[in-house]
Amino acid sequence: MATIDDENVVAVKRLHVGYARAKLEFENEVKLISNVQHRNLLRQLGWCIEGSELLLVLEYMPQGSLDNFLWGERKGTLNWEKRFDIIFGVARGLAHLHNEFHVKIIHRDIKLSNILVDDDFQPKICDFGLARLQPEDQTHVSTNLVGTLGYMAPEYATIGHLSEKVDTYSFGIMILEIISGRRCNDENFSGPDTSHLLEHAWQLYERGMQIELIDQELGIEEHHKANVTKTIEIALMCTQSPASLRPTMSEVVVMLSSGLSMGPRKLVKPSFIDSRRVIHFSANQSKYK
């Protein structure tokens, strides 16, 4: 954090360069976000490269990251309306990156700690250091593996198959965390038959008991339960495999804003990777090639 012009507070991201790749990663982030302007994307205010000192000047978000509101000192302060607005805002930010910018930008590391909130609880997607550009004439690119286990789409974790649907998968996991108040890979969680949040959500969906996924600290009024149930179903739709079954983020925005699904899509059991790096495949898929 720093103050400029004696009154404007900004965030300063500082990188220590020990190797050439770090400077390239920094330049990548600068180029990606320098022209991106959207209410749900953290705004870049300036940057500097001089020798080994790399500085990125960004909007300052005093509320901090979203994980602090679910698992940190601000736990229990988000009601359902705020949580849904955050989900919707992140969806709009990703749709902008994927479809509304002059190139397709894939973030590659969507998770709660990379979602900041402003004073009005509007979410801001941050940390574009891992982002990649996808050429317009390609459906995917092959790339070295980066990101966070638990949020990582199976086709990306296994063979490096990167498309915008990798962000869609991570977004689906993030929805389940926001609704349940539980970390996606918390093996110490007691109660469900499985320690993995995505599998637990699917089991509840199969039984028609999605409402039991809701965070116990979140008091849901009766008239909100249908909206919560639909949002859980959207999250499961976002985590299906193969990636072609997942909606685009623009479709997700429509579904969230209208409360309707995108036609008669039958959900397929999702695949996931647990904290031991064991891949759990969906019923219709034995392996990725």
Instruction: Give the catalytic positions in this structure.
Output: 109
CATH of domain 2-59: 3.30.200.20
- What's the pLDDT tens digit per position in 184-240? 877 666 556 666 899 999 999 999 999 999 998 888 888 889 999 999 999 999 999
Question: 79 exposed, middle or buried (CB, 10 Å; 0-12, 13-18, 19+)?
Answer: middle
Which residue has 């031991």 as its token pair? 276
* Position 30 pLDDT exceeds 90: no
> Domain coordinates of the chain in residue numbers?
2-59, 67-280
* Position 29 pLDDT exceeds 90: no
**Which class would CATH give 67-280?**
mainly alpha
pLDDT of 1 reads 46
Task: Read off the pLDDT of each residue in 89-111 and give the average, rounded to a whole number.
Answer: 88
pLDDT of 228 reads 93
Confidence (pTM): 0.86
Q: How far apart are CA 144 and CA 140, in angstroms?
A: 13
Average pLDDT, rounded, for the chain: 82
Lowest mean pLDDT among 26-35, 98-107, 138-147, 189-198: 138-147
pLDDT of 34 reads 77
Cβ count within 10 A of residue 166: 28
Does 2-59 match 67-280 in CATH topology?
Answer: no
